């Protein structure tokens, strides 16, 4: 697991040995969600709107970094 970003109330992580659509994990104090790297669509979970907007904005700017980490942790 690699934490790519965190702020006061949410964080973005990428895990190894994942399956399905390439995604990252968004965690906040009350929950978590999985979000597609390609489309930034929420795959699992219901994040609060403000957290989702902030996380998507960060992910848009850092998408290449997220992809690099996904590929490194999920080769083969």
The CA-based dihedral angle spanning residues 44, 49, 53, 59, taken in that order and rounded to the nearest 10 degrees: -20
- pLDDT digit string, tens, across residues 33-63: 999 999 999 999 999 999 999 999 999 999 9
Number of domains into which the chain is organized: 1
Beta-bridge mates of residue 12: 5, 26
The residue segments making up the domain with residue 31 are 2-73
Model confidence, pTM: 0.92
- H-assigned helices in the chain: 49-61, 63-73
Spatial contact of 59 and 66, defined as CB atoms under 8 Å apart: yes
Nearest residue to 27 (alpha-carbon basis) of 62, 8, 68:
8
Spatial contact of 40 and 60, defined as CB atoms under 8 Å apart: yes
């Amino acid at each position: 697991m690699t934490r790519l970003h965190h702020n006061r109330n949410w964080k973005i992580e990428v895990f190894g040995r994942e399956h399905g659509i390439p995604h990252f994990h968004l965690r906040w104090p009350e929950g978590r969600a999985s979000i597609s790297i390609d489309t930034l669509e929420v795959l699992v979970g219901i994040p609060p709107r403000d957290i989702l907007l902030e996380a998507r904005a960060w992910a848009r700017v850092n998408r290449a970094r997220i992809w690099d980490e996904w590929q490194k942790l999920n080769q083969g």
